[in-house]
Amino acid sequence: MTPPTSPAPSAGAAGARSRLAAGQSAAAVGAAAGAGQPGGGDPLAAQRTERALRCATTAARRLGLRPGEPRVLHDIFNVLVHLDPEPVVVRVPSLTLLSPEEQAARQRRELAVTGWLADTGAPVVRPSPLVPREPVACEDASLTFWEFVVETDRLSLADIAAADPRRLADRFTEQNGWAAELHRLLAGFPDAADLPVLAPLVPGIGRLLDRLRREPVLLTTADLDRAEREYAGLEALVAAPAASFPGVRLQALHGDSPGYNVLRTANGHLFSDFEDTTLGPVEWDLTMLDDAALESYENAAGLRLDRALLDVLDGARLLQAVSSLAVTSRMPQLRDMLAPAVEQWRARPPLTLPGT
């Protein structure tokens, strides 16, 4: 029986899958596959698990839920706790550098977008209807509550590492085609103007680079200097997207590769993990994809993507992955997972905006 889970694994797993789809070796994914599993004798993982279970059950009882045997489903950038037998999953941030107040502000945007999508009948994992659609504070974390979903065709990181590359590529090509309909729905989000522009980049990357400058991991001084120059370019892009890409259209986005944050269920697919939801061009949701996946999206959406913009945002996505080294002290296995992205970033020409 396929293990149930909800929502889908977040940024760490999605990033690994995205790099795999872009042609990366599966070896690094396989080496880090254990990072997504709870426990395993790792004392840091045990601490994350204990904290997540404690916070999830405490907050749940405060809201009137009755968790009987809560269990950890997944642990990378967030710990997901199923409040069995309640049909509820609690997402507990575990590696974030954000304060609880900053976490809550980000989560309110996610709940607003996913709640609206769910209310319109869109295929998304819904915020739990058993509790208010609000983040819940516990210790130094801010928690969100989601409807429990049973997956019928789930891939773990270990499955991804062992899978036939062509079959895996076909699967993710199909899922990125589904993202076209999600974008069509998101284009109607009524409060899009309240979303920050490309927030995962600015200030997201900047905060991580500040930590890496103080506590370098895998990166040389030259690497950090390059990263900061690229980040300055992204600050300019976020401040005035049309200055670099005239005619660019901004809309509400998933924010973290929706084609890699999909649950397949008996009743169809559901998009999950909108915690990076933001305002931006659709190309940001389509970074690090091969030509087949991009064409699948274009055919489904009936539009042509801006390849020059995609190239810049591919570089931005790689910089985002590299900057995630800032949290590896809390989960050392991520070093192996992120190492291929570091090498890919070094091999790529530095990110520059048109006309600079």
Contacts 24+ apart (CB under 8 A), 234-241: 234/198, 234/201, 234/202, 234/205, 234/316, 234/319, 234/351, 235/202, 235/206, 236/353, 237/198, 237/201, 237/312, 237/353, 238/197, 238/198, 238/201, 238/202, 241/197, 241/280, 241/281
Instruction: Return the pLDDT at 20.
Output: 34
Report the C-alpha gap between 120 and 44 in whole angstroms: 40
Instruction: Return the pLDDT at 6.
Output: 56
Alpha helices for 122-193 (secondary structure H): 157-162, 165-186
Cα–Cα nearest to 251, from 202, 284, 288: 284
Instruction: Return the pLDDT at 31.
Output: 33
Strands 78-82 and 262-265: unpaired
The residue whose two tokens read 């642990």 is 75
Topology (CATH) of 11-347: Aminoglycoside 3'-phosphotransferase; Chain: A, domain 2 (3.90.1200)
Consecutive 10-residue runs of the chain (356 residues): their mean pLDDT?
42 37 34 45 88 97 96 92 98 95 98 99 98 97 98 81 86 95 98 98 98 97 98 98 98 97 96 98 98 96 98 98 96 94 98 93
Instruction: Return the pLDDT at 11.
Output: 37
User: Bridge partners of 144?
Assistant: 91
Report the C-alpha gap between 128 and 91 in whole angstroms: 11
Q: Are 241 and 161 in contact (CB under 8 A)?
A: no
Gyration radius (Cα) of the chain, Å: 19
Instruction: Return the pLDDT at 326.
Output: 98
Which tokens is 167 given? 């079959």
- Domain ranges (residues) in the chain: 11-347
